[in-house]
Amino acid sequence: MVFDFTSCFLLSAAAFSGALVSGFAGFAFSAVAGSVLLRVLPPMEAVPLMMVCSVGVQAASVWSLRQNLHWKGSLSLIIGGLLGIPIAVYLLQNVETAAFRAGFGVAVALYAAYMLCRPALTNLHQVQSSVRSILIGFGGGLIGGLTAMPGALPTIWCDMRGLPKNQQRGLVQPFIAAMQICALALLLSSRSISPHVLIDLAISLPALAAGTALGIVLFRRVDQLAFRRIILITLLFSGLSLGL
């Protein structure tokens, strides 16, 4: 890729917008940034760049939310997710998964649209169960490996339970970070990252840092209702990006 002002601007805009949404909501960096990066970079360059940037955003988010983290619940999710990722990798290598990604995207979009239109929310208050958390994490890892959206299922589960925003982020954020680090490690073990990715990262780093910081600040300032609506809108956008 020949770097000029337009290319640098698009890289920075994609990094900033993806980091802003992910810093606020905790997920969807690839869904937002990928809508630009996959149009201006080849996939073998764009995908590793998105993974590295997303891991950076997740690390910053985990650090900033460290006082709200729920390690016990997150550990159950992570264990389940780590069990689901190898199955997803096998399916990616041996089965056509485009139809699954599209179907899951439509399902997520329909859930988000329905919840946005509901006049009232009936929460599913249930006793915390490690087995249930492991199953949700397993589904998140499996789906995340196939769709690059590991946080969608745990986020929907937290929304259905009506968890406050701090508790939701404290539970889901370490899970998403662990899944993305695992995915990046698998990528590094299978192939070397092109030097172009490091150049892209250097160009987009200031915008990435600014977007992450602004997203975290906005998360701390919005109330519970606004946070939930924005999460559902993010899920709707992410689902549509997969389903269409």
Q: Average the pLDDT over 144-155 and give the result.
A: 84
Which domain range does residue 154 map to? Answer: 5-243
- Tell me how long the chain is: 244
pLDDT at 212: 96
**Start-to-end CA span in the chain (Å):** 27
pLDDT mean over 211-230: 93
Token pair belonging to 207: 């915008």
In sign, the C-alpha dihedral spanning 182, 76, 154, 224 is negative
pLDDT, one tens digit per residue, over 196-205 is 888 888 999 9
pLDDT at 182 over 80: yes
Distance (Å, whole) CA 179 – CA 185: 10
Q: What is the mean pLDDT of residues 12-18?
A: 94
Pick the more confident residue, 119 or 232: 232
Contact 212, 57 (CB under 8 A): yes
Residue type, 211: G
Does residue 191 carry a pLDDT above 80?
Answer: no
For residue 209, the model assigns a pLDDT of 96
Residue 120 has pLDDT above 60, yes or no: no
d(CA 120, CA 202): 46
pLDDT band of 102, cuts 50, 70, 90: confident
Q: What is the pLDDT of residue 159?
A: 86
pTM of the predicted protein model: 0.83
d(CA 26, CA 189): 26
Reply yes or no on whether the pLDDT at 220 is more than 90.
Answer: yes
Count of domains for the chain:
1
Please give the residue that has the higher pLDDT: either 160 or 211. Answer: 211
Residue of higher predicted confidence among 16 and 186: 16
76 or 71, higher pLDDT: 76
Which single residue is written with the structure tokens 């009506």?
Answer: 162
